[in-house]
Structure 1
Amino acid sequence: MMPDINEMLPFLIPLAIVEVVLLIYTLHHILTHQTYRHGSRALWIVITLIGMQFIGPILYFLLGREEN
């Protein structure tokens, strides 16, 4: 039996907020930095937007972000 959506809202709303904040922070970081460990700015924007549900931003911070 599927759980009712109203029962899941207390879990889904904070998860959605964290996801959007992580996406915005990641895009800000990509757009304000010039160098990346792997790939280019355009590649990381595409990966971040397509893999929006945590995977894209996490991949960027693990693989693409150049350490300053």
Structure 2
Amino acid sequence: MGDNWILFVPLIVIELGVTVTALIHVLTHDRYRFGNKGIWLTIVLLFQLIGSIVYFVLGKEDNE
């Protein structure tokens, strides 16, 4: 089990990248299709990868 952690490193990097990108987008924009800034921050922080994907699919305003 000592070397298995190396398999998870790329997944962790991808998850952090997507989450940080979603957080930056939520914090820098004021228009959303559904909800508001507080709701999207909570969703992205609590559910990380899934919350970030949901934000980019459902929450992000298209015409920016």
> Structure 1: where are the runs of 5+ without partners?
none
Write out the 4+ residue segments of structure 1 that deviate beyond 3 Å after TM superposition. none
Distance 1:19 1:11 in 2: 14
Q: Highest CA radius of gyration, 1 or 2?
A: 1
> Structure 2: where are the runs of 5+ without partners?
none
RMSD: 0.9
TM-score normalised according to structure 1 size = 0.86
Same amino acid, percent of matched pairs:
37
Give per-residue Cα distances to partners, 1:12-66, cap 9 Å, x unaligned: 00100111111110000001111000000000000000001x1010010011000
Aligned length in residues: 63
